[in-house]
Amino acid sequence: MDFQETGESRAKKARGRPRDWHDKTAQNTIKSLDRAMEVFEYLSEAQGKPLTQLADEMGQSPATVYRILVTLEGRGLVEFDPQEQVWHIGPQAFVIGARFLRRTSLVDRARPIMRRLMEATGETANLGIEKEGAVLFLSQVETYASIRAFFPPGTLSQMHASGIGKALMAHMDADRLDRLLAASRPETYTDQTITDPDALRRDLELVRRRGYSVDNEERNLGMRCIAAPVFDMNREAIAGISVSGPTSRVGPTEIERLSQPVARAAHELTVAIGGMVTQPQT
């Protein structure tokens, strides 16, 4: 039967959700889909798993996990390595993730700025945001040098051991920072990692005053990172831009020099997205 639109139907406002969209009870969830997404998310964090190990670690039956994996494989979201007998995330997962990144102009506007930053410093340029108390890396422009930092899009890192993370934390209001520190369990990665809350607060105060942060081998020995915050129209730090490189090139005397183009790039991106710049405290 052909459907002819009436004046009344045209007048109805299109909705993206049903009226009771906020109801997350069992009647509005699909358990099999939820279970499949649990397997997919777990595999994304622990790639290269054989079926039996994956099922055992998740507390699921191998038959159930296998059916989920085969279904996801049909969509290209996971793939099987027959030689190693292990499962990995598939290429379609990257395609979908890339579509998410294109949803915001932040990544698009950052790319040419990051390219210029990499050219000016000779080091890898990174872009990241905060997501659920961690740094989510959105984009990277790699240096031409043979030794380089590598944070592929989608990588998550604890904020206390990240240049971008500390640049964002330094501009959080006191209550939000208190909640973040109370909820997180800072991991010690190296002897340089700052995990003591009081010491971290002092470091963040320094970041706030000078306008940039330094990851001084706090995540990986032999690597340093200098980052600066990007602000939105409400003067809130919503992202961070950074350069990362080996300590052989990014020595203590290079930090001040590299901080200037990093701060300029963050300022340029702030302006490009219509943000309002917050001046460093003196």
| Distance from C-alpha of 166 to C-alpha of 177, rounded to nearest angstrom | 11
What's the pLDDT score for residue 160? Answer: 95
- Is-contact 242 199, C-beta < 8 A? no
Q: Where are the domains of the chain?
A: 25-94, 104-272
Fold of 104-272: Beta-Lactamase (3.30.450)
CA–chain centroid gap for 102, Å, is: 14
What's the pLDDT score for residue 162? Answer: 95
The 3-state DSSP class for residue 248 equals: coil
Fold of 25-94: Arc Repressor Mutant, subunit A (1.10.10)
| Distance from C-alpha of 179 to C-alpha of 40, rounded to nearest angstrom | 30
pLDDT digit string (tens) for 47-61?
A: 789 999 999 999 999
For the entire predicted model, the pTM comes to 0.68
What's the pLDDT score for residue 9? Answer: 47
State the 10-residue block means of pLDDT for the chain, 282 residues long. Answer: 45 56 59 91 85 93 94 94 92 79 77 96 95 91 81 86 96 92 88 94 96 95 96 93 94 93 96 78 49
Among the listed residues 102, 31, 40, the one whose alpha carbon sits nearest the alpha carbon of residue 70: 40
What's the pLDDT score for residue 25? Answer: 53
What's the pLDDT score for residue 282? Answer: 44
| Distance from C-alpha of 80 to C-alpha of 87, rounded to nearest angstrom | 5
What's the pLDDT score for residue 10? Answer: 47
What's the pLDDT score for residue 145? Answer: 82
What's the pLDDT score for residue 182? Answer: 86
What's the pLDDT score for residue 28? Answer: 60
- The angle that helices 51-58 and 62-74 make with each other, rounded to 10 degrees, is 120
Task: Count CA atoms within 13 Å of residue 238 on its CB side.
Answer: 18
CA–chain centroid gap for 126, Å, is: 10
